[in-house]
Amino acid sequence: MKSFTIFNRFLMLTLASAALFTTSCKKDPVQKPDEPNAKLVKLEQSAGNYTTFEYNANGSLNKMKAVEGGIAKEISLTYANNRIASGASANNAMKFNYNAVPA
């Protein structure tokens, strides 16, 4: 009688394992998100406070202009190897540079 019980347990364990392995979850491939077909051109905080964005022919950000209380600050960006290399305001009041362009 004990051998029958051991056999039943072994059989149930084998069937459960087979069911688990044959019906286990499979990872679905990750799809790339769609490329946006529109670009942000203006961000308006209030009537007199807004930021505008201009893009070059490649679709990369070329110029940002922030207006706060009637005072405009414009930043132009330059690229090297399709990556931002530097940016500066019109009178160089605000300027930033990258020390290395990552590959």
Please tell me which residue, 82 or 41, carries the higher pLDDT value.
41
> What is the C-alpha separation between 42 and 77, in angstroms, rounded?
17
The model's pTM = 0.53
Query: For 13-35, what is the mean pLDDT?
Result: 77
Domain that holds residue 92: 42-97
Domain membership of residue 16 (yes or no) is: no
Q: Which of 69, 72, 73, 76 is nearest to 45 (CA)?
A: 69
pLDDT digits (tens, 9 = 90+) for 91-103: 666 666 665 555 5
Domain membership of residue 66 (yes or no) is: yes
**Number of domains comprising the chain:** 1
> What is the C-alpha separation between 14 and 8, in angstroms, rounded?
10
Domain membership of residue 92 (yes or no) is: yes
pLDDT digits (tens, 9 = 90+) for 1-14: 555 677 788 888 88
> What is the C-alpha separation between 1 and 86, in angstroms, rounded?
83
Domain membership of residue 33 (yes or no) is: no
